[in-house]
A and B are shown apart, each in its own frame.
Chain A
């Protein structure tokens, strides 16, 4: 399942959600707000999405992962709004019968999410300035 939320991501509950009797491996990836980018100090990040399309692309990533690996359960969740340093912005939890598949499926899902899902972050720097993050390399594909 996929979810956009403005609340704190409950990664314990999300991990429990993917655990299954026929899956011997659970991999969880958490993306968290980092305090430094180069020499610049981050106070907070603001995340926004193009909601209908973001959810659609996340659902496609879930379907692709299920096609490619023997996924028992998978959850992709992304938080929107203001996040302070250390908070969880994104979580991907995957269960599979064996660990190699679970690692690969989780890596695939977070990589595709970062490439394809229309979500943007704005840096709130310690000096009071702000800056939308739009990477130079074109991300769509």
Chain B
């Protein structure tokens, strides 16, 4: 299947899911069905020749298939967790619309077209997530998102346009222009990921956006921006790398500052959503380091690391939804000792910790180290290395809080053990199932069909109270699956390392000439 077909399916799903979001049951069914269909179509995206469209090209590869499959797969699990906690009416539409935009942005040849698509995807996803129901805080957040997406697109498109003008055939290269381009692209990266001092956007988004929409808005869309820019930079700015020492030093300094202060901020936050938001802020430093390297090897490592980043943040967001639903609060100071009431959530968080940090030999560890080594050396490398463990430290802190004495909120919370509903009255089920089977073939078939119908009805009646009683263990199970998915990505399953070595279509120059 081509990327265009996937985008059409996902966009159609987003429209339908958004139209029916006001109806709780129909919205749930349609939303989940649309995400499953889109996920299925993402897994069969072919890595074939790009589709030539009006002088440009749109194509898919193994890496794009991985990005979309992980985005939709992780997003589906987060939707399940959120549905078992509260009803997130806009979340399926955000997930589908965001995935369609990411597919188009990463599938388009040339950085300008890709950046325009990423800007459109960011604006559309933010609008779907924040426009309804209307509230002053959401209006402000949407305003901030649209302003950020538009200005990032503008800076990126102009910066990408400067490079052909300075390095085209028969023109004298302008190192000064190249430095402007690098700084502009770094600004875009910093804003999209929320690097310090542009971090307020991520924190406010975590406050007001529906939790189930946060994986797309906070992790996958920034990752798509990063993939476009990091994929484009080595080929476009690599030839000027030796003359860009000061600019690259500035970006490295900003990256180190972000790694350290982002980690510190994550360690002092009280709300679990804010902790996750500031781990995203901290990891913006690594994305900036990958850009500053201007090195194809760092680009390949960053393409692997960005998948680990997005998968672990998706899992963390799913964990925060389950955590808040379990204890009716997200404040760490009110949830001391939470591990005793929610050991499965603890196991999941430990799994996410392993995925986020990794160990030598695994993709998560090696790709992070490769990015650090390509952009820094000496004390800066040591500083960056320490800062890159910030997400792990923040998770350890949450686990440490869970190991303390149980608070009142924790003591009164339901446990994670499955519970069975009380047995239903026997009369309902036995009415159609008892008695002897009538003679005759047709009558026998009718009787069997009748029994099956009755049994399904009884099972449905039994399942509903069982589901209501077991929301907590089901949520924990879904979060465990999220953590497992993050661990698989961290170990480099699904052929991530081989796929990440392909430069992607955004690295190709745009076709000029009209």
Q: Are A and B part of the same complex? A: no
A→B interface (CB under 8 Å) = none
